[in-house]
Every structure is written in C-alpha cells, then in structure tokens.
Amino acid sequence: MNTPPIPLEDRIIFALDLADPRAALALVDRLAGQIRFFKVGLQLFFAGGWPVVEYIVNKGCKVMLDLKLYDIPATVQLAVRQFADRGITFTTVHGYGPVVEAALAANTGIQILAVTVLTSFGNEQVAELQYQGTVDDLVLQRAETVLRLGCHGVVCSAREASLLRQHLGQSFTMVTPGIRPTGADLNDQQRVATPGRAIADGADYLVIGRPIRDASDPDVCIKAIQQEIATALA
C-alpha cells in the first residue's frame, strides 16, 4: 500500500511536557511555524484538559494525545470513545493485547499507538518484571502482538527501530521518543538516539521536547534537526 510522504514539519512531534497550559500554548504559538505536530501528555492534559487540544487543532496542527491508557478493556474502550471528533491524530495505550483490542474497538478513526517499553527502562528494570530476555526481546514481542491485532503503530525507543523494521516490515507507524541531538543531556532517558540515526533506522516520527525547549535558539535547533532528518531520508 502506498502512503503519502510525511511532511518534514510533521516529523518532529514536540512534547508539551509542561504543567502550565498558558506556557504550553505560548510554545505552540512560538513553534507552529516550523513544527505542526504536538504531544499532549498526562501532566498537561490534567492541567489544561480539552481546551489545550482544541487550541492546537484550531491552529491547524496535529495532536498526539499521549495518556498511555492501561485499564480493564471496557474502561479503555469507553475512554477512547471520549476522544472522538476532537481532531486527534494519534493516541497511546500500553502494549497489552486486550487493552489494544479495546482501544481499536472504540472505532474513533484515531490511530492507536501501542507503547512497547518506556524509554526510561533498561535491562535492569526489565529484569525486575521477571522477564527472561532483554529490552529488545520484550519490545519485539509486544510489537508483534499488537500489530497482529491490527494496531496502527507502536511507540518504541529509536534503539529498537531497526530491529522492528527488520522483523515486522514497513506497514505500521513508528513513533520514537528519547531523541537527543548530539551533546544533549539524556535527562531521565536510557535508550536514546540522535534524530538522524532514528530516521535512518526506520522511525516515522520523533518525539522531542526538552532539547528544543531548552535550546538557546529553538528556531536554529529545529532547523538543524529537520536538516538532519532530511539528510537521513535522502
């Protein structure tokens, strides 16, 4: 199946990881000329609710509602139904089969992305789950399961992007957080990659927040990342 190319200004999903809705929307205003995709996570959604989502959509931008739903299937299905008709492009659930099936059954037209393993996890944390394998093994296992169920795509670290493309092909959307330009602080992330590496390895979209937000000149930072993406695509 042929899919239209993703515009360069959509490739970066800017993470609005802020508790102050006014500050978050000021960033949308500041960046919307270069970035057209924004992530609204738990912190901001609890602080600002649906008006934040509506503001972004009304500016002609896209929204990834990143609430990582995980509950009994009936509750997940009812929750995802509340997202309908709000202009949301992606929403996230944890990569557990019954949860993914419930989100898909809501049939909202929103693309469901399954979170495989959080990018703050390393092999030590995975071992604490009593899983007999590596992070890579667990990410691949969960991705295989959710895609078999019809999930639209996955959220994984860029470290696993090449592995998933090699084993699972091209017919799903891959969103990778934990993106850090060369020299950037890792913060609380363990499994990270540069923008160019992530795209070259098969990521479709890159979730980036602090490296842009904290840059001395965000415009220059965005242009550099987009150039790196364009070079990797070429």
pLDDT tens digits along 46-75: 999 999 999 999 999 999 999 999 999 999
Packing angle between helix 218-233 and helix 21-31, nearest 10 degrees? 60
> Collapsing DSSP states into helix, strand and coil, what is residue 87?
coil
Under the banding of pLDDT at 50, 70 and 90, the label for residue 184 is low
Report the CATH fold assignment for 8-233. TIM Barrel (3.20.20)
pLDDT tens digits along 7-48: 999 999 999 999 999 999 999 999 999 999 999 999 999 999
The structural domains of the chain, with segments of one domain joined by +, span 8-233
- Report pTM: 0.91
Contact by Cβ (8 Å): 91, 125 = no
| Active-site annotation holder among 39, 59, 62, 68 | 68
Contact by Cβ (8 Å): 43, 211 = no
The answer to whether 62 is a known catalytic residue is: no
| H-assigned helices in 106-194 | 123-128, 135-148, 161-168
Tokens of 231: 């070079």
Tokens of 58: 């009304």
Higher-confidence position of 121 and 51: 51
| pLDDT for 185 | 55
Under the banding of pLDDT at 50, 70 and 90, the label for residue 134 is confident
pLDDT tens digits along 63-110: 999 999 999 999 999 999 999 999 999 999 999 999 999 999 999 999
Closest CA to 142 of 179, 119, 115, 110: 115
